[in-house]
Amino acid sequence: MIERDYDVVIVGSGAGGGTVAQELGKLVRAGRRVVLLEQGPRLYDDEFTGRELDMSDALYEDAGGFLTADGTMTLAFGRVYGGSTVVYTGTSLVAPRRVIERWNVPGLDHGDLEQRSRRYMAENNVHYLPDEELNENNRLFALGCERLGYRAEQFPLNVRGCRGSSLCNLGCPNAAKMGTNRVQLPAAERLGVDIVTRAEALRVEDRAVVVRVRTRGAGEKGAASEWAPGLYRVRAGIVVCAGGAIGTSALLLRSGLAPVVPRLGERFTCHPAHILVAEHANPVTNDVGHPKSFYLDRAEAEGFVLETCMYFPFVTAKNLTGFGAPHSAFMRAFPRLQMILVLACDRATTENRVTVDGAGRPAVHYRFTNAVITALVRATRTSARIFFAAGADRVHAPTAEPTTLVRPQMDEIDALINEGNFQSGRISISAAHLMGGCSMGRSARDSVTDGWGRVHGVPWLRVADSSLFPDALEINPYVTVMALADRTAQAVQADAGELLGGRVVLTTA
């Protein structure tokens, strides 16, 4: 095994890892050595083709087909330089005060999170798109909401020079989305942080990470790793895990941390989601323009959030329930489709959690609670009303039987869409907001870390990603991940003198 020595090693390059890497550039300026390990490749700009399978293979874990242990939900997360920030849509919201207060994490207050969030939103050029760049798919949602008396809100987005490819979830082909691959990671590298791609963290040892660096396979996208292929032990005085809710939980479980922090892997939440479509009589601009401009926040009142969305042919086909002629009729109507993503605000339970199998691979155990099913049904009913109010003729509703509703059935929505039609394994459910597993809290009795990402009882081990969330966030999580990672980085800098030995003089980066 090849040995390497650093002061800090960061695992993961998404919203959490990228933020920590940039912040710890200050340590590099103070003479410390920092390295970031990313399991996925570093893609060249011209490799972002926008082709569905091509990009899913290159950017997502299991090509976007990672399933929960019982196979009833697909979990989407990135595995590339920039992590999931390469494949999200860039919707940038500050965590709701009510959620942070409910989390009740000692030392974590909403004001602090908001201030950090706004700093990263400014850094990522977050702003509202002008009206002329909003497509009809989005406008119809706002119109439907307005006609029903709902207030749809516009998403602030982290784009610069967006050309409206609509391909955000396949990695922006125009380098317009300000993920960590475009902002924080290049900044970290300029400050002297080493970044090693195709580097899979196998386990954490005492002040070290064992990592396998892979060779670039034939036909694979991306640059070769910065290090020669092989097995490495990267020793460091501080280890920061930022591999996401599944990646970090699995890494720490593989590393035998469960006896130290028995809550490891618990409290997994993910905002389980349906994709709904409706057919209009006339063409709807939907495959051009940013896909996600508006949302309707019913989290507090009804336990769900609706968002505009637009997906690609295979993902759309997969996510509609059923098959055969009715399914095909919706697919053939693609240029006349309006889409809504419905997300249930799930609650953390001890039962829904991340474990590892005998080979150390992550397994996500997730049971749909009655509250989640009810939230999905309510969300589908509201969406159906919005679709019809916007002028749609036919609506695909997974929890209706049959799944196609037509306009004359508008008054029967509550009866037709109901919990009795929810059958896991038949209805397509997916999730991309993966949270929990290393939750923040008071002590090892109730959590894995404190409010600054310090793992209880292991002072040199830190966490800086969405695994920190003690419960669902009820909004799109990346800005909050950055804010929490910023806190983790601050704590690392504060503790560096003690943990790394010697005096650390920080300079402004």
* Binding stretches for other proteins (CB under 8 A): 48, 50-53, 57, 62-63, 65, 70-72, 133, 162-167, 173-174, 283, 285, 287-289, 312-314, 316-318, 322-325, 327-328, 331-332, 334-335, 423-426, 428
Least Cβ distance, residue 290 to other proteins (angstroms): 9
Q: In angstroms, rounded to a whole number, what is the distance separating the alpha carbons of residues 503 and 338?
A: 59
Contact 422, 429 (CB under 8 A): no
Question: Between residues 254 and 385, which has the closer beta carbon with respect to other proteins?
Answer: 254
Question: Between residues 286 and 383, which has the closer beta carbon with respect to other proteins?
Answer: 286
Least Cβ distance, residue 173 to other proteins (angstroms): 4
Contacts of 359 (CB under 8 A, 6+ apart): none
Least Cβ distance, residue 315 to other proteins (angstroms): 9
Least Cβ distance, residue 329 to other proteins (angstroms): 9
Q: What H or E segment, with its residue span, contains residue 294?
A: strand 294-298
**CA–centroid distance for 312 within its chain:** 19
Length of the chain: 509
Question: Between residues 96 and 326, which has the closer beta carbon with respect to other proteins?
Answer: 326
Question: Between residues 203 and 327, which has the closer beta carbon with respect to other proteins?
Answer: 327
Q: Coil, strand, or helix at residue 22?
A: helix
Amino acid in position 458: V
Question: How does DSSP assign 88-106, residue by residue?
Answer: S--B--PPPHHHHHHH--T
Kindly state the DSSP code that residue 388 receives in the 8-state scheme. H
Report strand pairing: 337-344 vs 404-406. unpaired
Contacts of 335 (CB under 8 A, 6+ apart): 283, 284, 286, 287
Question: Between residues 93 and 341, which has the closer beta carbon with respect to other proteins?
Answer: 341
Question: Between residues 67 and 202, which has the closer beta carbon with respect to other proteins?
Answer: 67
Least Cβ distance, residue 136 to other proteins (angstroms): 9
Question: Between residues 52 and 112, which has the closer beta carbon with respect to other proteins?
Answer: 52
Q: In angstroms, rounded to a whole number, what is the distance separating the alpha carbons of residues 178 and 103?
A: 29
Least Cβ distance, residue 389 to other proteins (angstroms): 23
Amino acid in position 329: A
Report strand pairing: 461-463 vs 153-154. unpaired
Q: Coil, strand, or helix at residue 448?
A: coil
Q: Is 378 exposed, middle or buried (0-12, 13-18, 19+ CB in 10 A)?
A: buried
Least Cβ distance, residue 287 to other proteins (angstroms): 4
Question: Between residues 22 and 166, which has the closer beta carbon with respect to other proteins?
Answer: 166
Question: Between residues 404 and 490, which has the closer beta carbon with respect to other proteins?
Answer: 404
**CA–centroid distance for 189 within its chain:** 23
Least Cβ distance, residue 266 to other proteins (angstroms): 24
Least Cβ distance, residue 195 to other proteins (angstroms): 26
Largest CA distance in the chain: 75
Question: Between residues 323 and 370, which has the closer beta carbon with respect to other proteins?
Answer: 323
Least Cβ distance, residue 281 to other proteins (angstroms): 14
Contact 214, 200 (CB under 8 A): yes
Question: Between residues 380 and 428, which has the closer beta carbon with respect to other proteins?
Answer: 428
Q: What H or E segment, with its residue span, contains residue 67?
A: strand 66-67
Contact 18, 248 (CB under 8 A): no
Contacts of 391 (CB under 8 A, 6+ apart): 140, 280, 281
Least Cβ distance, residue 438 to other proteins (angstroms): 26
Contacts of 267 (CB under 8 A, 6+ apart): 348, 349, 350, 352, 353, 436, 437, 439, 469, 470, 471
